[in-house]
Amino acid sequence: MLNLLLFFARKTLLLLCIAISSNLFATECNEPKSTLKVSLSNAFPTLPSVASPIAMTQPKKDSSFWFMLTREGEILSFENKESSKSFSKVLDIRSKVDIRLEMGLTGATFHPNYPQDNRLFFVYNDKTHKGRSTLSSIEINPKTLKAEIKTEKVLLTLPQQQPNHNGGNLSFGPDNMLYVGFGDGGYDMASSQSLNNLYGSILRIDVNTSPYAIPKDNPFNKGQDKCDAGTSLQKCPEVFAYGLRNPWRFSFDKQTGELWVADVGEDTYEEINRVEAGKNYGWPSMEGDICFDNKPCKKENLALPVTQYDYEGPQSIVGGYVYRGEKFPALKGHYIFTDTFGTILYSVKADAKSVTKPNTLLTTGRKSVSFAEGNDGEIYLLNFEAERGDVVHLLTGSCH
């Protein structure tokens, strides 16, 4: 999904969090004839530049610091203070990370019980195994915020024949299960409709048993063997939902627990889905709410997106978060997302019905690849824009 953007030179971090300004974008506020206005401002103005920032996370029980991932394979830490001036290195696995096209170190999340359980879970493309997607855990020293590669434990792998549509996001849900997203692999799009592999799917696993267990209530779990190498002769019990093309970024609504997934399109629509257990999201039979490639398809058992936009302009959707912070009440209940190449921020209400038209919030002029959410519900956006010189921006909103 990062395609040519990530294929080019090293870029610089921008974190964007939603801020009050006269920059106009249109969406509804509660008061009659009022509009929501959004702009960007530096959140950590003295942080130095960092190459290819691709994800940012903090422990559920500790808001004092952040971990920043670079696509090349570094994990860095910094204090969660506006005056932060430096990064500290947590881990460096650049020697084993494949960075062809869309590959890299793509996501990480702390165990919900950190620091009692000091594991960090992450996904990367393994250079030593032809770029296969690898889900691993590593132990973090809570005092030093350092990790050693010798503590890495591989949980599952998925072979990748192409360096795109690999997915690579992960997050713990409100049920404390670990959710992981993989794309169709860019080789055989029909894999997304097969339950005998992990391609084009959101997985749900229990990591409180080593290396992991299958939750009893997973929709396709009948007691069969795991698909920890990516494929099986039986249905893979890890699969929570399927029929996705490239679920590059997803998140859970802090208030409702709903799972929001952005799915990168082929050549007609980019889409956002509220994903539920056992459902089929259509790819490659459908793209958005239409039959793919003008071929006949049966829509009856396929889930429709919450929102979508066409491919004439922007063309690589980046999923964000439903705003549940306290600083900017006007944003509450809005799902915020963007597009890498369109450099546009969009929103849709969290209770929107299927195929609701998204609101255009702001043209940022920056190419963004990922969001982050603080424990306080504030939203950040990571951006690749080395030439700008600004590092971290805050996204805020108000009704006018």
Q: How confident is the model at residue 303 (pLDDT cuts 50, 70, 90)?
A: very high
DSSP assignment of 163-179? SSS---EEEE-TTS-EE
177 with 205: CB under 8 angstroms?
yes
Inform me whether the pLDDT recorded for 393 exceeds 90.
no
Average of pLDDT values for 49-70?
94
DSSP one-letter code for 4: H
Average of pLDDT values for 345-360?
94
- pLDDT value of residue 45: 84
Inform me whether the pLDDT recorded for 114 exceeds 90.
yes
**Residue 277: which residues within 8 A CB-CB, separation 6 or more?**
204, 217, 218, 219, 240, 241
Percent of the chain with pLDDT over 70: 88
Least confident of 108-122, 211-225, 364-378: 364-378
DSSP one-letter code for 300: T
3-state secondary structure 215-265: CCCCCCCCCCCCCCCCECCCCCCCEEEECCCCCCEEEECCCCCCEEEEECC
